[in-house]
């Protein structure tokens, strides 16, 4: 099955789980155009890391962590939208993605409580710092940051792809900006909040981040 087909199948399952049932105020629209629109966004040419492969990886990690979430389907929808608007040269991507989520999910017939939670979760990815007890936020943020705990080759490919996304930024400025992001992550008391992430990903991620920071600041 292609990545496109796998994502489309996942979208249909998730949307079906959170839309109005017999109490729908009117006919529900065809869900496929929403999937196609989102996948087209995730395949935009400026993306090197934040692309459909990343989306699929985040959804896979959410499947692993779903047992910890209060509402796994809301978390899955948030994954679809968390980088749906992505321009590396802009700082309002998360807000614009949240606004897109509200508009699209409302139109698609998703219940308002789920729509509101998806928008909140998308905005949370600005900091990746969920409040204690925010299990949905913990699962989404852990899934999004799981790449940080990958092995050496995968982590190197990740950092290379991020640099390509910011190819318009001069080297000195990129190194300074990237170093600031790494320090912000390392300053978090915990990178991963779910039991799975804390046990299996935390140590490796901190080693990767520290090594990259040392390379950037030599």
Tell me the domains of the chain and their CATH numbers. Answer: 3-216 (1.10.1300.10)
What are the helix (H) ranges across 66-134? 72-81, 93-108, 112-124
DSSP string, 124-154: HTTTT-PPTT-HHHHHHHHHHHGGGGS-HHH
3-class SS of residue 19: strand
Residue 105 tokens read as 């999910």
**Cα–Cα distances in Å, from 56 out to 11, 81, 91, 181?**
11, 12, 24, 24
Which positions ≥6 away from 38 have C-beta within 8 Å? 11, 80, 81, 84
pLDDT at residue 23 in the model: 67
CA separation for the pair 155, 81 (Å, rounded):
24
* Whole-number pLDDT of residue 3: 87
Going by the DSSP 8-state scheme, the letter that residue 25 receives in this structure is S
* pLDDT for the residue 1: 74
Where the chain has pLDDT below 50, the residues are none
Q: Name the residue with tokens 């910011």.
A: 166
Q: What is the tens place of the pLDDT at every residue in 137-175?
A: 999 999 999 999 999 999 999 999 999 999 999 999 999
Token pair listed for 179: 């170093």
Neighbour tally for 197: CB within 10 Å:
25
Assigned token pair, 77:
């929808």
Backbone angles phi, psi at 110, to 5 degrees: -80, 140
Q: Is 31 exposed, middle or buried (0-12, 13-18, 19+ CB in 10 A)?
A: middle
Token reading at 109: 């017939």
Kindly state the tokens that stand for 114: 């789920």
pTM of the predicted protein model? 0.95
Determine the pLDDT at residue 55: 97
């Amino acid at each position: 099955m292609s990545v496109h087909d796998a994502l489309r199948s996942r979208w249909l399952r998730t949307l079906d789980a959170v839309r109005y049932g017999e109490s729908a105020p009117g006919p529900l629209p065809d869900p496929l155009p929403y999937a196609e629109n989102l996948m087209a966004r995730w395949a935009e040419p400026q993306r090197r890391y934040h692309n459909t492969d990343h989306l699929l990886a985040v959804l896979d990690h959410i499947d692993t962590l779903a047992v910890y979430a209060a509402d796994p389907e809301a978390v899955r929808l948030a994954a679809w939208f968390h980088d749906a608007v992505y321009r590396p040269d802009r700082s309002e991507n998360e807000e614009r993605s949240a606004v897109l989520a509200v508009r699209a999910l409302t139109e698609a017939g998703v219940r308002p409580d789920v729509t509101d939670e998806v928008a909140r979760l998308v905005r949370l990815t600005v900091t990746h710092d969920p409040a204690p007890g925010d299990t949905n936020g913990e699962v989404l943020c852990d899934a999004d940051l799981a790449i940080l705990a990958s092995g050496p080759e995968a982590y190197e490919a990740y950092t290379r792809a991020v640099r390509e996304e910011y190819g318009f930024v001069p080297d000195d400025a990129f190194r300074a900006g990237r170093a600031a992001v790494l320090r912000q992550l390392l300053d978090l008391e915990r990178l991963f909040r779910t039991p799975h992430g804390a046990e299996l990903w935390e140590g490796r991620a901190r080693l990767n981040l520290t090594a990259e920071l040392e390379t950037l600041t030599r």
